[in-house]
Every structure is written in structure tokens, then in C-alpha cells.
Amino acid sequence: MKQEIKVVPSVVNKHSLNVVKQDPLQKEPPAIDLNSSELYENRELSYLKFNLRVLDQARNPSNPLLERLIFLLIFSSNLDEFYEIRVAGLKKQLDFGRQRPGPDGLYPEHVLKDTHEQVRAALDEQYRILNEDLLPSLAREKIRFLHRHEWNENLNNWAREYFLSEVLPVISPLGLDPAHPFPRLVNKSLNFILSLEGKDAFGRDSGLAMVPAPRSLPRLIKAPEELVSDGDNFVFLSSIIHAHVEELFPGMSVLECHQFRVTRNSDLEMSQVEIEDVASALQGELHSRRFGAATRLEVGKECPEELTNFLLTRFNLMPDELFLLDGPVNLRRMIALTQMLGRPDLCFPKFSPGTPSALEEGNCIFASVDKEDQLLHHPFQSFIPIIDWVREAAKDPAVLSIKQTLYRTNESSELVEALADAARNGKEVTVVIELRARFDEEENINFASILQEAGAVVVYGVLGYKTHAKMLLFVRRDGKTLKRYAHLGTGNYHLKNSLIYTDYSLLTCEPVLCNDVHKVFQQITGMGKKIHPKLIIHAPFNLRKSLVKMIKNEKQFALEGEPAKIVAKLNALTDPAVIRELYAASQAGVQIELIVRGICCLKPGLPGVSENIRVISIVGRFLEHSRVYYFLNSAPQVYCASADWMERNLSNRIEVCFPILKKKLANRIINEMGIYLDDRTQSWELQSDGDYISYQPDNEKALAGVQALLLNKLA
């Protein structure tokens, strides 16, 4: 859905955030109930709209072909997590009779109904894109997925040999009868439901059986080049199993054989245990995640109603929770294809992240930060200097201690290795590891063990509050005094993600700011009354209050006829208190521009309420992840943060919002925000009815898009 629309001229001019002076006769805003449910978009439905914007990248011909396939698979992965967490939560409210309407006035049962309808339509479109667009386009590039009816005699023989040698030894067919009850199936595992005819050796004839696809085997197998030499040819494991499934039931006839997959509740719940028991309690919960309550059933579209009804009954699901798919039911496993092909011509061009000269390899990073604060914008600029800084600190005899938060990091973490080296070298190393970082829990437990064995002190944050702040603190002897250095970021300490997520990193030795970081660490690792940082704003204590205060400050300037402006770049905006204040500021004449990648429960352009609010979403090659807040009349004006404007971030997480104190760096962020706001290639504008409309590039410069412009500028 791409169309050109008329847009109210932006106040942004040449990548700046200049604003127009307000009418000095501006009166108090009209009395409108800003709590009215009509003013709020539903969170779940807004998320689905974001995922549709991701799916749109799969049909966008300006993206390279394999990247389009990846976007299609990301859409599947996002939907999986959505059903594992958000839909599971809604179903739980229904099960326990605890339905409560959200700010939008919708009850969970209504949200679920709308969700299933919209997802069903989206899945139809996803498989249409796959079958009618991507697969034919890949075939033209000699990348083919060979279905059973396309196999020649040689391929048939090869597939049979693969089945006998690789599949048969590990597969476990399951007849279904009173002695073989329906098994507990692992979350999102690929399975087959079969209808059989005949009796087995024991005289059983239940007529039903199941075959779980071995999870240890790849879902895609490359056909031997000597059999199919023209290009890259692949066969689905499901096709091989389907072709030879009768061999699992000798002497019986297979009447029907269809793929299916069940999605389960994967949200972990821990009782209030003592802090030293968090790791062991979490390990116990990780196993149960695989077998939570079912939330969705996906089945091949040819599966007869008799079998789908049987499965629905076994999983305790309703008919509207059944989704019939025109293709593989486990699409997300096709991501393995990207590692099996050598086709850079079908991918985004490779790039090398830039590195400021002061932070290049071989330079002393402590000395560089002593001279001036350093600001990095990932992935356009490298994350390696952050890891190098920890490595340097581990070897530097002047460094006495290192403190760090870890929410997510990559599998073989160079950062964890550097922290362990520092501990072995006698540094005081303290690491706050958030064990409950969703879907990274097991890995974080392993990292905790590695660090503890090296001699580091590991704590698991504060029970009931996820530690989501991104902080790194060094204490270094400088002559006769001790000096602090800090890294503060908007994203995780994850090298791989730093190449695909946009985030800001600040490296600083500003004394007051670093002392604030020290205080926050003390609060997390120790115990005591509420602290009062001088520059840092932190959740759950005062971030919401401070945001509301700064929004109200802009509102007051507007009422007095002065220029007033708010710009924020976020992943999500759902907090009702913040939305109400933005509405009130808009009514007073404050110009508000929001770059919200995903969920946005605010409705812009509502007469008398949000006419001065513009919301865009940027979706492209990189996942927009940085959180930046700009208030024209605040001092400082620019803040970066780990927190989105969501209830969970402002109330239930430990978050850090830090100011950009150096004018040069603040102006740089303001300039880069202006580039985002000027984008006409990757941006979607939110309408007052909740729909998003994409822009059409109107000239060659616009074709580049904000992410390409920043790559050219910084990488």
C-alpha cells in the first residue's frame, strides 16, 4: 500500500529542529476529556500494524531479493513471539476471568477476535508473496525449492537414501490410541498428523498417528550438485518425510499426511523467591516454557476438517485460533538459507562501520575520552571501541574496578571474555546480569557462571524489576586521585546486534555524570533509600515524572507565545500518562514530532487534541532501536535513554536516561534526528484513524533513505 499523500510542512529545515514562534494570544486549550478511549490505539493491534510494515519490505522491489525473503521470515518470527507473549497474556486474562479494558476501551476478548482476523489476512498475504513473488524470483536466480512432484528418478533415489540414513534412525512415529495418548509437543516444533487405514501387527486400527520432525535435523537440505547442477537447489525435510512416511507404518495405508505446528505461552513466571535462588528458579521455568498453554495452531491448508478439529480439541483451542497455511508451517526455519548461499549480489551491500580517529585500534581510549566525550551511532559507527575499552581496562594496571550491566549479549561474547580477563587480572569486576531478558535467559545464566568462575561478582538485579539500563563504569587511578569513566547506551552490549540495530553510545569522563552512574550501580547491587542523581534520570523512580515535567514546561512556553518543540525517537509509545501530557501540550500549540518504530497508542491529527503531533515509523535495513528525547526549552535539550515510553519501562524496569552535555554532540544528534524526520523513502506516517501511509520518493536524493544517508556519512 504505497501512495503519495499531502503532508503538513515540517518545521524541520535542512536537518535542524527550528520551530516557529507561537501566537502570543494562544488561549488555554479547550476542555476535552483526554482519558477518552477514543483517543487511544490498542497496543496489540498497533503492533500488528508494525509487523505489516515489516511484511511490506518483503514485497518492496527496491530491496535485494534475499533481503526480501529475510523480511518475510522476520514477519513470521515476530508473529511467533507475539502469540507466545502478548496473545498468551490476553488468553490468560480470559481464563482467570480478569478481563480489564485498556486505555482504548477494548476488552481482551475483542482484541483477540480482531487479532485473529487481522493475522489470518496477513498470513494469506505473506504466503501469496512467498508463492507468487519470491519463490519465482528466486527460481529465476537459479535458487529453487524442489517439491516432490518435481523430483526425477535420481532425486527420488537420493531422497530415499537420505531418509533411510539420516531421518529413519532418529524419527519416532507415534500411533494414537488409549495406550499412546496424544503427546506433549514442544513449542513451535514441526509435526505431521496422519490418517491411516488397516491394522498393525497387534491388531490396532485407531486410524490416527503422529510423526514429529526430528529437531536435530536441518529443515532445508541442499540437493547434490551432481544430481541438479544448475544453480542452488534445496529440498525441505518435510518433503522427504512426507514422501516416505508410509515406511514408518509398514503394511498400512496413509490416507492423509499434513504438517502442523502449535505455538505455546512462553512467558516465564517466577514466584517471589530469594534473590540467591533466582538462577535456579529460572532454570526450572525454562523447561516449562516449551510446554505452556497453546495459543495458536498452524496447519497445511489441505488438511481436512476432521483432522484439524481433532488437533484443536487436543490443544484446547477454538476454531478462530486455527490458521491454514499455503506452504511450510515453519517458515522461520528457512533463515538457514542465508548461510547456505554465496550470493552477495542478492543482499544489501556490505559495509564497514566507521570509527572516529580518536578511538581507532592502538589508541588509548582512556586518553581519548579524557580529551573529549565520544559519541557513536551504531551500526553506522563501530561498536568495537566499547569492547576494546574493556579489553584495555582489563590490562591497564591503573584500572581498579569495572562495573557493567548485561541485558543481552552475543553467543560467544567477547565482552564477557574481556570482563573475565579483568577479574583474573585482579580488577574488582561487578556485573549486573538480567537473567530474565526474554529468550536469552539460558545464555545469561551461562555467562553468569563464566564470570563467577573468573572471580567477578555477579548479581541478578532487583527482584520484580528488570535491569534494562545500559551502563559500563571504570574506576582508574590518575596520579593521586581516582577518576571515573562511563559508557552509556541506548542498546545492548551485543556485537552482532550492533551491526543491525541503530543505537547511540556515549563515552564520557564527565565527573557528575559518572558519579551518577556510580550511584545507580550502588542502588542496584546494594540496598538503601532512594538516590538522587544530579544529571541521570532513572526509572522506576523519576523518569515518568521528569518526562511529564519537561512536556509541561514546553506547554507553558507555548501558552506564553514562545517557541515550543518536542521530538522523540522511540521503539514504542504506550504509557497513558505520557500520551495525555503530549495531547495537552499539542492543544497548547507545542510542535511534537515522534519517530516511533513499532507500537504507538497515541493518535495524531485529532481535531482539538493532537493536530500539532506528527508520528512517523522508519522501517528498513536496520532495526531502529535508539531512544532519543529532545525538548526545546529544557537544559540540557537532548537525552538518550534505554527506555521507551511504555508502562513497563517507566514503572517496572531499571532504566537510565542520560543527557548529552556537550553542545557539539547534542547538535549532531539534533541534526541526525532531522534527517530521520525528512525521510521520504523508509518512513510511514501514522494517520488519525490508526492506519499508516508510506511516502513515495519524489526525487533521486529521496531514494537513498535515511539509513543509506547515515551509512554514507558515518560508515
8 A C-beta contact, residue 463 and residue 272: yes
Return d(Cα 25, Cα 6) in angstroms, integer: 29
518, burial (CB in 10 Å: exposed 0-12, middle 13-18, buried 19+) = middle
Tell me the C-alpha to C-alpha distance, in Å, between residue 43 and each of 13, 92, 116, 123, 572. Answer: 33, 17, 15, 20, 9
**What is the chain's percent helix, strand, coil content, to nearest 5?**
40, 20, 40
Please tell me the distance from the alpha carbon of residue 414 to that of residue 408, in angstroms, as a whole number.
13
Q: Report the C-alpha gap between 450 and 188 in whole angstroms.
A: 30
Residues near 648 by beta carbon (within 8 Å), at least 6 away in sequence: none
SS (H, E, C) 500-562: CEEEEEEEECCHHHHHHHHHHHHHHHCCCCCCCCCCCEEECCCHHHHHHHHHHHHHHHHHCCC
Q: From CA 618, how far away is CA 608, in angstroms rounded? A: 27
Q: What residues does 429 pair with on adjacent strands? A: 402
CB 297 within 8 A of CB 338: no
The distance from CA 387 to its chain's CA centroid, rounded to whole angstroms, is 23
Joined together, the cell numbers standing for residue 137 give 524470483
Contact (CB, 8 A) for 334 and 219: yes
| Axis-axis angle for helices 700-714, 663-678 (nearest 10) | 150
Q: Give the closest residue to 502 by CA, choosing from 669, 390, 685.
A: 669
**Separation CA 660–CA 654 (nearest Å):** 20
Contact, 619 vs 57, CB < 8 A? yes
Reading the block at residue 214, the C-alpha cell is: 526430528
Active site residues: 468
What residues does 485 pair with on adjacent strands? Answer: 474
**φ, ψ of residue 63 in degrees (nearest 5):** -85, 145
Amino acid identity at 27: K
663 Cβ contact list (under 8 Å, min separation 6): none
Is residue 602 exposed (0-12), middle (13-18) or buried (19+ Cβ within 10 Å)?
A: buried
The cell for 542 is: 523519576
| Residue 112 Rama label (left phi>0; alpha psi -120 to 50; beta) | alpha
The residues with which 406 forms a beta bridge, in sequence order, are 433
Helix ranges, 360-413 (H): 365-371, 384-395
The per-residue DSSP string of 87-103 comes to IHHHHHHHHTT-----T
Q: Which residues pair with 40 in a beta bridge?
A: 602
Alpha-carbon distances of 228 from 131, 241, 461, rounded to whole Å: 22, 20, 55
Question: For cell 569495572, what's the residue?
Answer: 402
